[in-house]
Amino acid sequence: MELLLQTVGKWAVARPSGRLSESSSLDFEKACLEKIHEGNRWLAFDLSEVSYINSADLRVLIYCQKLLKEQGGGIAILSPQYNFKEAIEISGLHR
């Protein structure tokens, strides 16, 4: 997994690419939490280049959503691949 993080307006945008696997989930979580701790309340995940996502990485997305909602912010999931779009919907991340 490679991860590009940038700020666009009020949004911190995370653009991971490749496979989000158990071995990369700790790095993914650390990078996302750093953005939150820097004061970003809005975090967008552009998943257009992600070929696989596992349950540990879904947990990271859910955790970020929970933290940001508590701070009056939220997340956006952009361009999820068809093969894991259903998992995102089941987890409630699409709301």
Higher-pLDDT residue of 81 and 95 is 81
Helix (H, G, I), strand (E, B) or coil at 27: helix
What six digits make up the tokens of 61? Answer: 């997305």
pLDDT digits (tens, 9 = 90+) for 20-77: 877 888 999 999 999 999 999 999 999 999 888 888 888 999 999 999 999 999 999 9
Comparing CA positions, the residue from 75, 61, 86 lying closest to residue 13 is 75
pLDDT of residue 95: 66
pLDDT of residue 48: 93
> Picking from 6-10, 64-68, 69-73, 86-90, which range would have the lowest pLDDT averaged per residue?
86-90
Higher-pLDDT residue of 51 and 11 is 11
Higher-pLDDT residue of 5 and 84 is 5
Sign of CA dihedral 41, 37, 31, 57: negative
Beta carbons of 6 and 13 less than 8 angstroms apart: yes
pLDDT of residue 1: 79
The one-letter code for the residue type at 23 is: S
Q: Strands, DSSP E only, in the chain?
A: 2-8, 11-20, 42-46, 49-53, 74-78
Mean pLDDT of 2-26: 88
Residue 21 CA neighbour count, 13 Å, CB half = 6
